[in-house]
Amino acid sequence: MRHHKKKLKINRDKAHRKALIRNLVISFFKYGKISTTETKAKRVKPYIEKLITLGKKNNLHARRLIIKKINNIGTAEKIIKDVSPMFKDINGGYLKIIKINTRKGDGATNVMIKYVINNDSEKKKTI
């Protein structure tokens, strides 16, 4: 029985799952948005939000924890210097998942993960 087991396994063993999440996180911070399946997006969203919250502290310990989790110094610097200052007044809820379409081959739901703050600022500019 799977009582009280929240994390989705995504049909991968632990090492492959960890590498997949790490690669999705690095791609997200590199491009600002990623398109993936709904299950992977639900698994990676809390991970990204925790990294942004860590980056808001902007101290040596937080920097080392981010590097430890994603194993990429360039991405860690980007989180601390570029991404976290955008959310200095917001306490959580940095991302949103938008459904795009379903894949033709297997019917999986494709979604896009984006920052919340960029989309709100674009709407204010157009109004």
Q: Report percent pLDDT > 70 for the chain.
A: 92
Partnered with residue 112 across adjacent β-strands are 35, 98
SS3 89: coil
Reported as a single tens digit per residue, the pLDDT across 46-85 is 999 999 999 999 999 999 999 999 999 999 999 999 999 9
Q: Is residue 66 part of a domain?
A: yes
Q: Which tokens in the block code for residue 43? A: 């698994």
> For the whole prediction, is pTM greater than 0.95?
no
CATH number for the domain that contains residue 45: 3.90.1030.10
Q: What is the mean pLDDT of residues 27-42?
A: 96
Domain that holds residue 112: 37-126
Backbone CA torsion sign across 92, 17, 7, 98: positive
What angle do helix axes 14-31 and 38-57 make, rounded to 10 degrees?
70
If pLDDT is split at 50, 70 and 90, which confidence band does 118 have?
A: low
Q: Count up the domains in the chain and report the number.
A: 1
SS3 36: strand
